[in-house]
Structure 1
Amino acid sequence: MVAIGVSGYPAAVLSSFSQRRTTSYGGIQKCSRILAISTEKIESSVSTEQIKRARSFEDQNNGMFDKKKKKEETEEVKVKLNLYSNPDKIPDMEEGKKSLNDYLEECKEFIRSNQSGPPRWFSPLDCSVSSPESPLLLFLPGIDGTGLGLIRHYHNLAKMFNIWCLHIPVKDRTPFPELVKLVERTIRSENYRSPKRPIYLVGESLGACLALTVAARNPEIDLVLILYNPATSFSKSVLQPLIPMLEIMPDQFPLNLTHLLSLATGSLTQTIGELIPQDLVSISSYLPVLADMLPRETLLWKLGLLKSGSASANSCLHAVKAQMLLLFSGRDQLLPSQEESKRFRKALPDCEIRMFEENGHFLFLEDKVDLVTIIKGASFYRRGKHLNYVSDYIPPTPNEFKRIYESVKWIITATDPVMLSTMEDGKVVRGLAGIPSNGPVLFVGYHMLMGIETISLVTQLLIERNIVVRGLTHPSIFVRIKDRRPGDPEPSDFDLLRVMGAVPVSAGNFYKLMSSKSHVLLYPGGAREALHRKGEEYKLFWPEQSEFVRMAAKFGAKIVPFGVVGEDDIAEIIIDYNDQIKIPWLREEIERTTERISKPRSNASGEVANQPMHMPWMLPKFPGRFYYYFGKPIETQGMKVELEDRDKSHQLYLHVKSEVERCIAYLKQKREKDPFRNLLSRLLYQAIHGSISASQIPTFDLSD
């Protein structure tokens, strides 16, 4: 796993209107008078250095210059700067991240200053400092045409992309084919300048049709399409019948989109509430903006563009070869997006699809929808021709981690994990102080039933030690199953693992992680342990031959063996693999599922090779306490040559395995003396002592 040090924290230091003349740079035109919120990063290394100098001056004056003390104090500073240390207190809104009100204000400014002229690109002021090595992201707007649809996501997107947004002025009447040519010229020019980097096209409704048409016409260019609520279903939408209505309506009726849709719903309030959540913006502030954005003549023209764009995109859908992520809203009131998602699943089996059941048409203007998290979770961020799971990985932001932590907090609360680690002198302590800070570090341990122990392990290492653990994971969670059947897991079910750093297990990825000095989590027992059978709790199923020792020694990694026990493996297995293969239809399903997924150990043999993929039938047990014990780190520094000998390598492999078994045996014995092993006793303790964290509830005596 990569040990990520927090380099700083964002602070919004300026919020003002800045007057700018229209300029051109690299094909980008910056629109005048844009609301700019600039942010600064205060580097923790600078803050730490200042504190160190101040303490040094004080120590010298007092004659108490103590190197050991200074080292401990510096470590204290680093702990305090860990932004993940208290996920419950991380603010919901990131500093520097804009709100829906900002969107409305900037729309007013854009409409007032840029009503005429041709379509043009602009780069948001808060995104102008992106790294030149970052891929280019082109945002193609929907029916509004402002190009501000991603305004709430600039703050995080700017850390990953160079962002250009397409602005289509209110009075512009450029036909759809000319818009396609405009985007084409841009991607061809930028591809010529940076042929080794992908170009991202993010499109909403009309913009999605633009992106699909451009991708079909330029299959040789490396494009990544991220499309939400595409207007390919325009012929079935409530918008299509509005065209003839607008054409025959007398000029003295200055209706806009909201008024027309309210005729169908019978309620103006209901219509606006369905387009944009009412708790985010008042109706009175939204109506004038919409009226200016889509006056009657513009609305009629945009509806024609939607019709033309939909026909164009549908006609060339079969020719789209680009990597594609499609996002659909379950409560889209403008387009039948939910129905359209089913059509795309059949028409484009290779694309990734995510459904947002509770969201409306304007997906990225709503709360709790983060485009960056979606991209990370789908493994769609790359800087080169191919995705590099190590160098392209970006650790979760504090807000991302907070959302992830909240989704699994009930498991952590129910299992109340006790974390034990071993210091260099062999002393066992509560907490993770014995885990080496600097990588490469290889955690090797036992996989509990369904791998549930990884939740507390990964989150606690980030909270307590600011260490991002890169788990080597079964490749099946990264590969989309084309002939997906009812009951198969959704691809989005594994997004959390990918955001937290999961990597497909392979020799190549293991090598990259070790060479990047990461903290890596490896389960030699793999799926065989996680999907074990009746009576196999805490039994190791490791390959007969060593798989990781020589790679760890090549980079001088510290190997940390660990064990974990739970109650008692969390569930009672009712029907296991041995039972299921005796049932014909279940046996066929297991064989079919196993055949469809990747096989990480295709050349191996024995118990762990090509584990049949099945789901045990289980009954959950009453929640008990989880116990983790990390043994003393095993040094491999300087053993590269020695461990090239197969016998010595195998001896170390067996030693690591015996250490894992020892850790498990230790925990099974010690937990019998824990007075708070039962959930009820822990709840009673918390009730008596007030609101305390799980780590504050006592456990067995470590000195025994």
Structure 2
Amino acid sequence: MDSIARQGAGESDGVTLDDLLAVSSGGPPRFFSPIVPSSSSSSSSSSSSSSSRPMMLYVPGLDGTGFAASSQFESLSRHYDLVALNVPVGDRATFDELESKSKSKSKAKAKRTAATNDPKVFLIGESMGGLLSLGVASRRPDLVDRLVLVNPASSFDKSPWPAVGPLLPNLPEQLYAGLPYALAPVLFDPPRLVQGAVAAAVAAAEAGAPGARGVAAATGDPVVGLAAAAEELARLFPALGQLSNIIPRDTLAHRLAVLADGCAAVNAPGVLEKINVPTLAIVSSADALIPSAEEGPRLRRAMPKCAIEVLDGASHAALQEQGVDLVGLLKRNAFLPRTADDPPALSRDAAFAPPSPAELERAFESLSFLRKVVSPVFFSTRADGVVVPGLDAVPLGDARSGEGRPVLLVGNHQTLAPDLGFLVQEFITERNVLIRGLAHPGGGGGGPGGGLSAFTTFGAVPVSGKNFYNLLAAGEVVLLFPGGVREAFKRKNEDYKLFWPSKPEFIRMAVRHGATIVPFAAVGAEDGIDIVADSDDVARLPFGLGDGAIRRSKAVPAARAVDTRVTEDGDAEELFVQPICVPKAPQRYYFKFGRPIETAGLHAEGFSKDEEKVRAMYGDVRREVEDGIDWLLRKRTEDPFGDTLTRGVWEAASGGKQAPTFNP
């Protein structure tokens, strides 16, 4: 599919802007395919390829042609069944009617999806089209699988245009004909526009093109060179000169009213908040038409599943600017359909969307400073007991294979869990696996970037038997801290102690799914803090402060219906009261993954019914964690770069390369 419709300069076998303008119909709005197969392509091949791709519906801006983003169409068509909306010049459809037209096309695609098990519907709206797309997603989110907004006009009501716009249709005809050129610096970034035109003219001249460009190259005449640039500018943006025909005065007046109505509908209280569709808002930092730079963060705050990409220095018509790659932005945010050539997915769970490359980049960046300070190192243990550097000995192969056998990582919680993000990051970067955590439902634990909300983005789910079962059933690599909040919010003088219940809560579940259990130990974080007040101290605060803190703690949802550590083991109650800590000199972080414990086939043998065997395996896991902690505490004294200052100087001198550690 190599024929692309361009603005007023379509190829011989493509649909062009002139083709659409030649249709004098005043309506109704219509969808068309801007990409037409070349004559050399077989129709059967094209049809098969199209039916196997998700549909992308492109909803244009104020121009209504469906061609404003045409420079992106060819690359988009390699991944999507691309369809564009055209709103004819004489059409007077209202915001609701235009929205309904987009919904009807999405509905038709949904029927095709149900009939053929076809991929999903992507809705991409630019400027006014972004406003219409938000309207569709708010009223029929079931019809939209992914939503892409490019400088959406949902911020139109916060710009000067509601006041200035109605004056433009009243301009005399001759002045109105020149309006597109007057608005060019607002629609496009002038320096980029001219730079692109001049670069194209120079390239053509160097290639020996005839006419003014060749003369300019030969003579170096600046006047001729500017004329060549202007000619190139007209070739690159032919629709600019036709804007007064594309949007005559009465059409402009109508579409300004559509924008006003759309903003009132979309920005009504509670509308954006209920759009639970994965959304990517692409906004230009130098949009001089509407305040897109401020609109992106507003949409991200309001919409539950909205990510933003900021195009630095780009104008309102960003998709027409040189260097803006829409497909690249979609890929970076996991909005591009997966292909057979893609690396394996981070997760096997079909019900979970792993973080996108952009989310990973931001999360890892948030860890970069602490990573430089603590320089974490990892070790793993082979089945024969040999300890090796890195994570190579952790048996994750089964979890990524067609067998879908899960892996259960079981370890100790360090106080406040500042090390958790490094665990997640290391498995992603070294093994291309996202470990799925079981987190306290009240917010205990952290994640890449800190906080349970960030950890949840990376696949954590609240601790419960059902969630635990579902993760193992999906063949995931699951992260479990049996000590829970009691271990994460330690009291004074409890460094590196385990607070596991005596009952083997997780063993039977692992056996039922044939999971490989990998015990692990972590040290270093608890040496970098000093607890000055724990939950017991907080409970004793005067003037009702302590009672209030304990009361709020008990209102937090519990991870366990019955905590056997209290009822059977005689331990202190698990309180969701974070200890008050002061930092000490930071220490290096160390992680050791122990010898794997296989459970495949044990369920069929009735292993879980033998209480003695279950408790023995539970004891083995706990001892492996405790032995791992002791091993790390002992071996770290052999680390030539265990001292933070010495290590920092060495790593700075080596250009950021990580300092070596002890030999296992």
Q: What's the TM-score once normalised by structure 1's chain length?
A: 0.65
Counterpart code for 2:381: T
Deviations 1:527-575 (A, max 9, x none): 4433434433322233443332112112222111010111435433455
Match of 2:244 in 1: 296
* CA RMSD, 1 decimal: 5.2
Distance 1:242 1:514, change over 3 A: same
Q: Is the 8 A contact 2:380 2:593 kept in 1?
A: yes
Query: Do residues 143 (structure 1) and 62 (structure 2) align?
Result: yes
Query: Do residues 323 (structure 1) and 271 (structure 2) align?
Result: no
* 1:104-183 aligned within 5 A: 111=17, 114-117=20-23, 119-122=30-33, 136-143=55-62, 145=64, 146=66, 162=80, 164-168=82-86, 171=89, 173=91, 175-176=93-94, 177-183=96-102
Residue 241 of structure 1: SS of its match in structure 2? helix
Match of 1:334 in 2: 289
Deviations 1:662-702 (A, max 9, x none): 111111122122221012222444467x44732xx332343
Residue 240 of structure 1: SS of its match in structure 2? helix
Query: Do residues 693 (structure 1) and 645 (structure 2) align?
Result: no
Query: Do residues 444 (structure 1) and 429 (structure 2) align?
Result: no
Residue 517 of structure 1: SS of its match in structure 2? coil
Between the aligned partners of 1:318 and 1:202, the Cα distance in structure 2 is: 23
* 1:504-653 aligned within 5 A: 504-580=462-538, 582=541, 599-602=558-561, 604=563, 606=565, 613=576, 616-640=579-603, 641-653=606-618
Give the Å deviation of 1:634: 0.9
Unaligned runs of 5+ in 1: 1-16, 23-30, 36-105, 263-267, 377-387, 479-487
Between the aligned partners of 2:307 and 2:460, the Cα distance in structure 1 is: 19
Match of 1:308 in 2: 258
* The one of 434, 439, 453 aligned to 2:419: 453
Counterpart code for 1:335: I
* The one of 98, 105, 108 aligned to 1:189: 108
Distance 1:229 1:605, change over 3 A: farther
Give the Å deviation of 1:245: 3.0
Between the aligned partners of 1:394 and 1:140, the Cα distance in structure 2 is: 26
Distance 1:157 1:353, change over 3 A: farther
Counterpart code for 1:644: K
* The one of 614, 630, 633 aligned to 1:665: 630
Residue 109 of structure 2: SS of its match in structure 1? helix
Deviations 1:34-59 (A, max 9, x none): 99xxxxxxxxxxxxxxxxxxxxxxxx
Counterpart code for 2:106: I
Residue 380 of structure 2: SS of its match in structure 1? strand
Between the aligned partners of 1:639 and 1:528, the Cα distance in structure 2 is: 31
Give the Å deviation of 1:445: 0.8
Deviations 1:410-461 (A, max 9, x none): 3333222221111221122222232113232211111223333233323333
Deviations 1:367-409 (A, max 9, x none): 8994555578xxxxxxxxxxx9811445567777556544433
Deviations 1:222-249 (A, max 9, x none): 7665656543443332222332332232
Counterpart code for 1:391: A
Counterpart code for 1:463: T
Between the aligned partners of 1:590 and 1:112, the Cα distance in structure 2 is: 72
Distance 1:681 1:148, change over 3 A: farther
Counterpart code for 1:166: A
Between the aligned partners of 1:370 and 1:438, the Cα distance in structure 2 is: 33
Between the aligned partners of 1:295 and 1:462, the Cα distance in structure 2 is: 49
Deviations 1:610-637 (A, max 9, x none): 9655655544443321111111111112
**Which stretch shows the higher mean deviation, 602-611 or 544-553?**
602-611
Query: Do residues 247 (structure 1) and 195 (structure 2) align?
Result: no
Between the aligned partners of 2:465 and 2:198, the Cα distance in structure 1 is: 55
Match of 1:427 in 2: 386
Counterpart code for 1:18: D
Match of 1:18 in 2: 2
* The one of 210, 225, 231 aligned to 2:153: 231
Distance 1:274 1:311, change over 3 A: farther
Distance 1:358 1:566, change over 3 A: farther
Distance 1:647 1:459, change over 3 A: same
Counterpart code for 1:231: A
Q: What's the TM-score once normalised by structure 2's chain length?
A: 0.68
Residue 391 of structure 1: SS of its match in structure 2? coil
Between the aligned partners of 1:507 and 1:191, the Cα distance in structure 2 is: 35
The structure whose RCO (Cα within 8 Å, separation 6+) is larger is: 1
Percent of aligned pairs sharing the same letter: 30
Residue 160 of structure 2: SS of its match in structure 1? coil
Residue 546 of structure 1: SS of its match in structure 2? coil
Between the aligned partners of 2:317 and 2:448, the Cα distance in structure 1 is: 20
